[in-house]
Structure 1
Amino acid sequence: MNPADLASHGCSTHELLSSDKWWKGGPMHDLDSLEFKEKIANPFQFENTIIAATVSSATIPRHNLNNIITSEEPTTYLKTLLKYKALGCVVQILFERLSHKPALQARLQNVFAALTLIRRNSRQGLNEGALVIMTIAHQQSGVFSRNKIEAMKLDLSIDRYGLMVMRGRIRQEYQDDSFAAHPWVIEGKSNFAEACIIQFHEKNMQCGSKTTPSKLRRIFWPIPARHTVNSIISKCYFCKRNNKRPFPTPPFQMLPQSRCVPSIPFNYIGMDEAGPFIIKERSS
């Protein structure tokens, strides 16, 4: 009998706890919340630390948080970020602290690119962390110089956040939250654009090189878009597996001798030369 069914079969709580079939669980269940966080803290999971800290955002003065974050250990980051969850301040401070580590900055961009797509609710729902990461992505883009913008002849403008947007023919905000009347212009070769393209590509069931830009341009407008999307989708593991050539038809076996040597006429069939017989049935 399954010990989990003892209570449903009339076993009392006292009998169940005193029974040898009762199991409290592993040793981790006896730890309190602080000891449990110490046990599960992995110093190598830097991205998971940032994601856990940015699940919900709160506000805290920038100078106070600057004085708090002083250690380089990710475990200290975990305690501090889980406690305050100051989204925008944490992003800005981490970028300043990781200025000498471009690889970690790229990883941080990839994390917040997904957070931007999840947390964004039209123009009103742009949180502080997404605004910071979008601003940094614009500052790192070399394609957005004034001469190149004039050369591209694009209908670009600056929104109230100070970010560059593509105006297009729609001048009013659309009611659908997944659609922006003025999508943000991003550098197609940046890590931010790459993370956004991967996010839209996987979210729309591994869509192709034509559907992905159309879905992406509802919120972001990468420049260049088609070449960037094609280069990223060509590296997708699942697309490579699904778009592989079909299994080739195996070669046919050699025909047997009976099918290669002609046989004499009427070797397997016969011919009735007598003609049909008329048969009459009578009742008697």
Structure 2
Amino acid sequence: MTWHHVPISLNPADVVSRGCTPRELLEHSLWANGPPFLHQSSSKWPSLPNAVKDLPERHSAALVGTVCTDISINCKFPNSFHKLQRVFAYIYRFISNCRAKSSPSRNRVTIEELYLGTVLLLRSIQQVHLAKEYGCLSKDRPCPQKSKMISLRPIIGSDGLLRVGGRLQNANLDFDTQHPILLPKDHPVTKAIIVYFHIKYLHAGSQALLATLRQKYWPIGRRKFVATVINKCIRCFRMKPITWEHVMGSLSANRVQPNPAFHTTEVDYCGPFYHKAEARNKAPHKCYIAVFLCFSTKDTHLEVVQDLTTDSFIAALRRFTSLRGTPRTIWS
């Protein structure tokens, strides 16, 4: 094959690639007929540009800016915390093998690699979604006053994770329980951790699950966020019993028809209450309140009753009828 050079001004492909209207394209001679030098002999074709054979060595300076990225977003298993732990365990193994420059390990994932891979996963999430708090605390500066985590007094542990400060340093608990790991709200990994513990503890409720979860992790958003994730559990939704709602009966005619006040009355007692005796150094006495309620107007009349005897009630009823009139019907 013999290759020849076509200059830009004679290249018909550039007519379309550089943009033109359909009318210009139809009237363009270069597009319709091709380069004019093709009608001439090959000796008059454009010559190749002079090729530079000896190129001088040039050292280019490149400025690379690194930004912390959440590598868990593009992971294949964002909804399974168990699989994410194993994926990042292999990532940690790869990083450690590259740093140690040793032969790659072909053994199964160890417990230490699972733990350190989980630390790598959670630290990358915190550095992106809790960047302000993480940046301030990593530089030994106090947490911003406008931060939502200011009440938790966050700290950075020896493993580089953002944790709850708290006041349990002297408690007989392990380090994870004293200082749970902070998790950002509405993150796929946070939801995956909640679902993982929800299934592990046999579909526990929101309050029990949050108490168990806070022994190691502290999701921002608390019980409302945990309940939102649990409500999407299909098995819990299917097994949730539906309470039967009984249809209440129709109201009686005395309640819905217009009548004078206390035409039909109901009476009940409330109490006991204690009132101080008139004599000094005497124990307080019990008393009760007789409540007279009108059926139709819901008017209420209160009478003080000394005790639960019949005579006391009859006296209260006489005081009531002397003020309000005699009812036609009294319900007790």
Instruction: State the TM-score bracket (shorter-chain normalisation).
Output: 0.3 to 0.5
Q: Which has the higher contact order (CA 8 A, sep 6+)?
A: 1
| Structure with the larger strand share | 2
| Structure with the larger helix share | 1
With the length of structure 2 as denominator, give the TM-score of the two structures.
0.38
With the length of structure 1 as denominator, give the TM-score of the two structures.
0.44
Larger Rg over CA atoms? 2
